[in-house]
Amino acid sequence: MKDKFLTFSFTVFDKISKKFESPKGFNIISSGLAIIFIVSLFIAFVNINFNLPESIAYLLPDNYFFAVEITFTILLAVEIIEMVFILAHSVTDSVAKQFEILSLILLRQAFKEFSNIDMPIEIVSIIQPATYILSDIFGALFIFAGVLIFKKMQKHRVITSNDEDSYKFTALKKALALFMLAAFIIIGIYDIALYIDGAEQFQFFTMFYSLLIFTDILIVIISLRYSHLYCVVFRNTGFAIATILIRFALSLPRYYDTAMGILSIIFVILITYVYNKFEFKRIKEVLWKQKNS
Protein backbone atom coordinates (compact mmCIF):
# COMPACT_ATOMS: atom_id res chain seq x y z
CA MET A 1 0.00 0.00 0.00
CA LYS A 2 2.81 2.36 0.97
CA ASP A 3 4.79 1.61 -2.19
CA LYS A 4 1.68 2.18 -4.34
CA PHE A 5 1.11 5.55 -2.68
CA LEU A 6 4.73 6.58 -3.30
CA THR A 7 4.56 5.46 -6.93
CA PHE A 8 1.25 7.31 -7.41
CA SER A 9 2.70 10.50 -5.89
CA PHE A 10 5.81 10.22 -8.05
CA THR A 11 3.80 9.76 -11.25
CA VAL A 12 1.19 12.48 -10.61
CA PHE A 13 3.80 15.01 -9.50
CA ASP A 14 5.98 14.40 -12.56
CA LYS A 15 3.03 14.82 -14.94
CA ILE A 16 1.91 18.10 -13.37
CA SER A 17 5.41 19.58 -13.07
CA LYS A 18 6.31 18.58 -16.62
CA LYS A 19 3.32 20.49 -18.03
CA PHE A 20 3.82 23.51 -15.78
CA GLU A 21 7.58 23.83 -16.36
CA SER A 22 7.48 23.18 -20.10
CA PRO A 23 8.23 26.03 -22.60
CA LYS A 24 4.57 25.94 -23.64
CA GLY A 25 3.49 26.31 -20.01
CA PHE A 26 5.70 29.36 -19.47
CA ASN A 27 4.48 30.91 -22.74
CA ILE A 28 0.86 30.55 -21.57
CA ILE A 29 1.73 32.10 -18.18
CA SER A 30 3.59 35.01 -19.81
CA SER A 31 0.73 35.71 -22.23
CA GLY A 32 -1.81 35.43 -19.43
CA LEU A 33 0.06 37.97 -17.27
CA ALA A 34 0.22 40.43 -20.17
CA ILE A 35 -3.52 40.09 -20.80
CA ILE A 36 -4.32 40.51 -17.09
CA PHE A 37 -2.17 43.66 -16.93
CA ILE A 38 -3.87 45.25 -19.94
CA VAL A 39 -7.38 44.28 -18.81
CA SER A 40 -6.68 45.62 -15.30
CA LEU A 41 -5.56 48.96 -16.74
CA PHE A 42 -8.75 49.14 -18.81
CA ILE A 43 -10.98 48.29 -15.83
CA ALA A 44 -9.26 50.98 -13.72
CA PHE A 45 -9.74 53.48 -16.56
CA VAL A 46 -13.46 52.70 -16.78
CA ASN A 47 -13.95 52.91 -13.00
CA ILE A 48 -12.06 56.22 -12.74
CA ASN A 49 -13.69 57.97 -15.68
CA PHE A 50 -17.26 56.65 -15.63
CA ASN A 51 -19.89 56.73 -12.91
CA LEU A 52 -20.48 53.04 -12.29
CA PRO A 53 -23.06 51.82 -9.76
CA GLU A 54 -21.66 51.77 -6.22
CA SER A 55 -22.32 48.03 -5.90
CA ILE A 56 -19.94 47.43 -8.81
CA ALA A 57 -17.49 50.30 -8.38
CA TYR A 58 -16.29 49.22 -4.91
CA LEU A 59 -15.14 45.89 -6.35
CA LEU A 60 -13.10 47.56 -9.10
CA PRO A 61 -9.74 49.38 -8.84
CA ASP A 62 -9.71 53.17 -8.67
CA ASN A 63 -5.97 53.51 -9.32
CA TYR A 64 -3.87 52.55 -12.34
CA PHE A 65 -1.15 51.06 -10.15
CA PHE A 66 -3.64 48.34 -9.24
CA ALA A 67 -2.79 46.75 -12.61
CA VAL A 68 0.83 46.43 -11.48
CA GLU A 69 -0.21 45.10 -8.07
CA ILE A 70 -2.59 42.42 -9.38
CA THR A 71 -0.12 41.31 -12.09
CA PHE A 72 2.70 41.06 -9.55
CA THR A 73 0.42 39.16 -7.17
CA ILE A 74 -0.35 36.56 -9.84
CA LEU A 75 3.36 36.41 -10.78
CA LEU A 76 4.15 35.70 -7.11
CA ALA A 77 1.52 32.95 -7.11
CA VAL A 78 3.25 31.39 -10.14
CA GLU A 79 6.61 31.66 -8.33
CA ILE A 80 5.13 29.88 -5.31
CA ILE A 81 3.87 27.02 -7.49
CA GLU A 82 7.38 26.75 -8.97
CA MET A 83 8.81 26.70 -5.43
CA VAL A 84 6.49 23.81 -4.54
CA PHE A 85 7.83 21.82 -7.49
CA ILE A 86 11.43 22.66 -6.54
CA LEU A 87 10.77 21.51 -2.96
CA ALA A 88 10.54 17.93 -4.19
CA HIS A 89 14.00 18.08 -5.78
CA SER A 90 16.23 20.20 -3.56
CA VAL A 91 15.85 21.79 -0.11
CA THR A 92 18.54 24.38 -0.87
CA ASP A 93 16.95 25.38 -4.19
CA SER A 94 13.60 25.69 -2.40
CA VAL A 95 15.15 28.04 0.18
CA ALA A 96 16.65 30.15 -2.62
CA LYS A 97 13.24 30.36 -4.29
CA GLN A 98 11.64 31.47 -0.99
CA PHE A 99 14.03 34.41 -0.82
CA GLU A 100 13.41 35.21 -4.48
CA ILE A 101 9.69 35.41 -3.68
CA LEU A 102 10.40 37.62 -0.64
CA SER A 103 12.39 40.05 -2.82
CA LEU A 104 9.51 40.19 -5.31
CA ILE A 105 7.02 40.81 -2.49
CA LEU A 106 9.14 43.80 -1.40
CA LEU A 107 9.14 45.13 -4.97
CA ARG A 108 5.37 44.63 -5.10
CA GLN A 109 5.06 46.68 -1.91
CA ALA A 110 7.15 49.43 -3.50
CA PHE A 111 4.84 49.56 -6.53
CA LYS A 112 1.83 49.61 -4.21
CA GLU A 113 3.24 52.66 -2.39
CA PHE A 114 3.20 54.64 -5.63
CA SER A 115 -0.60 54.52 -5.49
CA ASN A 116 -0.45 56.41 -2.17
CA ILE A 117 1.34 59.39 -3.74
CA ASP A 118 -1.10 62.15 -4.60
CA MET A 119 -0.77 64.30 -7.69
CA PRO A 120 0.45 67.00 -7.86
CA ILE A 121 3.29 65.91 -5.60
CA GLU A 122 3.77 67.76 -2.31
CA ILE A 123 6.99 67.31 -0.33
CA VAL A 124 5.24 66.75 3.00
CA SER A 125 2.89 64.07 1.68
CA ILE A 126 5.58 62.18 -0.24
CA ILE A 127 8.10 61.68 2.59
CA GLN A 128 6.58 58.56 4.14
CA PRO A 129 5.71 56.74 0.87
CA ALA A 130 9.16 57.59 -0.48
CA THR A 131 10.95 56.16 2.56
CA TYR A 132 8.82 53.00 2.35
CA ILE A 133 9.71 52.66 -1.34
CA LEU A 134 13.44 53.15 -0.68
CA SER A 135 13.34 50.61 2.14
CA ASP A 136 11.57 48.05 -0.05
CA ILE A 137 13.70 48.42 -3.20
CA PHE A 138 17.07 48.43 -1.44
CA GLY A 139 15.98 45.54 0.79
CA ALA A 140 14.91 43.61 -2.33
CA LEU A 141 18.26 44.45 -3.97
CA PHE A 142 20.23 43.16 -0.96
CA ILE A 143 18.20 39.92 -0.86
CA PHE A 144 18.62 39.55 -4.65
CA ALA A 145 22.42 39.77 -4.23
CA GLY A 146 22.26 37.37 -1.28
CA VAL A 147 20.31 34.80 -3.31
CA LEU A 148 22.94 34.90 -6.08
CA ILE A 149 25.72 34.37 -3.52
CA PHE A 150 23.76 31.57 -1.84
CA LYS A 151 23.16 29.78 -5.16
CA LYS A 152 26.83 30.03 -6.13
CA MET A 153 27.83 28.43 -2.82
CA GLN A 154 25.65 25.35 -3.30
CA LYS A 155 27.20 21.89 -3.59
CA HIS A 156 24.37 19.48 -4.27
CA ARG A 157 24.57 15.86 -3.22
CA VAL A 158 22.15 13.03 -2.50
CA ILE A 159 21.16 12.50 1.12
CA THR A 160 21.90 8.77 0.94
CA SER A 161 24.03 6.52 -1.23
CA ASN A 162 21.28 3.86 -1.33
CA ASP A 163 19.26 4.20 -4.56
CA GLU A 164 16.07 2.74 -3.07
CA ASP A 165 16.19 5.08 -0.06
CA SER A 166 16.90 8.01 -2.36
CA TYR A 167 13.82 7.12 -4.45
CA LYS A 168 11.59 6.81 -1.37
CA PHE A 169 12.79 10.11 0.07
CA THR A 170 12.16 11.89 -3.24
CA ALA A 171 8.72 10.26 -3.55
CA LEU A 172 7.78 11.41 -0.03
CA LYS A 173 8.83 14.97 -0.87
CA LYS A 174 6.73 14.83 -4.04
CA ALA A 175 3.73 13.66 -2.00
CA LEU A 176 4.24 16.63 0.32
CA ALA A 177 4.56 18.93 -2.69
CA LEU A 178 1.20 17.69 -4.03
CA PHE A 179 -0.35 18.42 -0.63
CA MET A 180 1.15 21.94 -0.71
CA LEU A 181 -0.22 22.47 -4.22
CA ALA A 182 -3.72 21.48 -3.07
CA ALA A 183 -3.39 23.79 -0.04
CA PHE A 184 -2.25 26.61 -2.33
CA ILE A 185 -5.42 26.27 -4.42
CA ILE A 186 -7.73 26.11 -1.36
CA ILE A 187 -6.13 29.15 0.33
CA GLY A 188 -6.25 31.10 -2.94
CA ILE A 189 -9.96 30.37 -3.52
CA TYR A 190 -10.79 31.31 0.07
CA ASP A 191 -8.86 34.60 -0.19
CA ILE A 192 -10.67 35.50 -3.44
CA ALA A 193 -14.04 34.70 -1.84
CA LEU A 194 -13.23 37.04 1.07
CA TYR A 195 -12.29 39.81 -1.38
CA ILE A 196 -15.57 39.44 -3.31
CA ASP A 197 -17.57 39.54 -0.06
CA GLY A 198 -15.77 42.73 0.96
CA ALA A 199 -14.31 41.06 4.07
CA GLU A 200 -10.76 41.42 5.31
CA GLN A 201 -8.52 39.25 3.17
CA PHE A 202 -6.76 36.17 4.49
CA GLN A 203 -3.22 37.40 3.66
CA PHE A 204 -2.48 34.62 1.21
CA PHE A 205 1.32 34.74 1.20
CA THR A 206 1.57 34.92 4.99
CA MET A 207 -0.71 31.92 5.42
CA PHE A 208 1.11 29.88 2.80
CA TYR A 209 4.51 30.57 4.37
CA SER A 210 3.09 29.47 7.74
CA LEU A 211 2.16 26.14 6.16
CA LEU A 212 5.57 25.95 4.50
CA ILE A 213 7.28 26.15 7.90
CA PHE A 214 5.66 22.90 9.04
CA THR A 215 6.37 21.27 5.68
CA ASP A 216 10.08 22.14 5.97
CA ILE A 217 10.21 20.75 9.51
CA LEU A 218 8.47 17.56 8.37
CA ILE A 219 11.06 17.13 5.60
CA VAL A 220 13.83 17.48 8.21
CA ILE A 221 12.18 14.78 10.34
CA ILE A 222 11.68 12.45 7.35
CA SER A 223 15.31 12.95 6.27
CA LEU A 224 16.44 11.46 9.61
CA ARG A 225 15.36 8.06 8.25
CA TYR A 226 18.01 8.33 5.55
CA SER A 227 20.80 10.40 7.13
CA HIS A 228 21.80 10.91 10.77
CA LEU A 229 24.76 13.17 10.03
CA TYR A 230 24.63 16.05 12.49
CA CYS A 231 25.81 18.70 10.03
CA VAL A 232 23.11 17.77 7.48
CA VAL A 233 20.39 17.82 10.15
CA PHE A 234 21.66 21.17 11.47
CA ARG A 235 21.82 22.72 8.00
CA ASN A 236 18.32 21.58 7.01
CA THR A 237 16.89 22.68 10.38
CA GLY A 238 18.60 26.04 9.91
CA PHE A 239 16.93 26.37 6.52
CA ALA A 240 13.57 25.65 8.18
CA ILE A 241 14.30 28.45 10.66
CA ALA A 242 15.02 30.73 7.69
CA THR A 243 11.47 30.05 6.50
CA ILE A 244 10.20 31.11 9.94
CA LEU A 245 12.21 34.34 9.68
CA ILE A 246 10.72 35.02 6.25
CA ARG A 247 7.26 34.42 7.73
CA PHE A 248 8.07 37.00 10.43
CA ALA A 249 9.26 39.43 7.77
CA LEU A 250 5.88 39.18 6.03
CA SER A 251 4.08 40.14 9.26
CA LEU A 252 6.35 42.88 10.61
CA PRO A 253 5.79 46.63 10.09
CA ARG A 254 7.62 48.47 7.34
CA TYR A 255 11.40 48.81 7.71
CA TYR A 256 11.43 45.88 10.15
CA ASP A 257 10.23 43.53 7.42
CA THR A 258 13.14 44.55 5.20
CA ALA A 259 15.63 44.23 8.06
CA MET A 260 14.35 40.74 8.91
CA GLY A 261 14.60 39.66 5.27
CA ILE A 262 18.22 40.88 5.07
CA LEU A 263 19.17 39.14 8.34
CA SER A 264 17.52 35.93 7.08
CA ILE A 265 19.54 35.76 3.86
CA ILE A 266 22.75 36.50 5.80
CA PHE A 267 21.84 33.64 8.16
CA VAL A 268 21.49 31.02 5.39
CA ILE A 269 24.67 32.24 3.68
CA LEU A 270 26.61 31.77 6.94
CA ILE A 271 25.15 28.28 7.45
CA THR A 272 26.11 27.31 3.90
CA TYR A 273 29.62 28.74 4.26
CA VAL A 274 30.34 26.81 7.46
CA TYR A 275 28.79 23.63 6.03
CA ASN A 276 30.86 23.83 2.82
CA LYS A 277 34.06 24.85 4.59
CA PHE A 278 34.21 22.19 7.26
CA GLU A 279 31.78 19.36 6.51
CA PHE A 280 31.03 18.85 2.82
CA LYS A 281 34.26 16.95 1.98
CA ARG A 282 33.94 14.71 5.04
CA ILE A 283 30.31 13.89 4.19
CA LYS A 284 31.31 12.84 0.67
CA GLU A 285 33.92 10.49 2.17
CA VAL A 286 31.37 8.98 4.58
CA LEU A 287 28.88 8.34 1.75
CA TRP A 288 31.60 6.83 -0.44
CA LYS A 289 32.56 4.41 2.36
CA GLN A 290 28.91 3.47 2.93
CA LYS A 291 28.43 2.75 -0.76
CA ASN A 292 31.53 0.59 -1.02
CA SER A 293 31.25 -1.23 2.29
223-230 — which CB contacts under 8 Å span 24+ positions? 223/159, 223/169, 225/165, 225/169, 226/159, 226/160, 226/162, 226/165, 226/166, 226/168, 226/169, 227/159, 227/160, 229/283, 229/286
Q: How many domains does the chain have?
A: 1
Which candidate, 187, 291, 169, 145, places its Cα nearest to that of 232? 169
State the pTM of this model: 0.83
| Domain interval for residue 287 | 2-292
Instruction: Report pLDDT for 122.
Output: 65
Preceding amide of 253 cis, omega within 30:
no
185-194 — which CB contacts under 8 Å span 24+ positions? 187/211, 188/77
Contact 150, 269 (CB under 8 A): yes
Instruction: Report pLDDT for 117.
Output: 64
Instruction: Report pLDDT for 34.
Output: 93
Contact 213, 243 (CB under 8 A): yes
Tell me the pLDDT of the chain (293 aa) as tens digits.
567 777 788 888 888 888 888 888 889 999 999 999 999 899 888 888 888 787 777 777 777 888 888 888 888 888 988 888 888 888 888 899 999 999 999 998 888 887 766 555 666 667 888 899 999 999 999 999 999 999 998 876 666 666 777 778 888 888 888 888 888 888 888 887 877 776 666 677 788 888 888 888 888 888 888 777 788 888 889 999 999 999 899 889 989 999 999 999 999 999 999 888 776 566 555 555 555 55
CA 163, CA 122: separation in Å to the nearest integer? 65
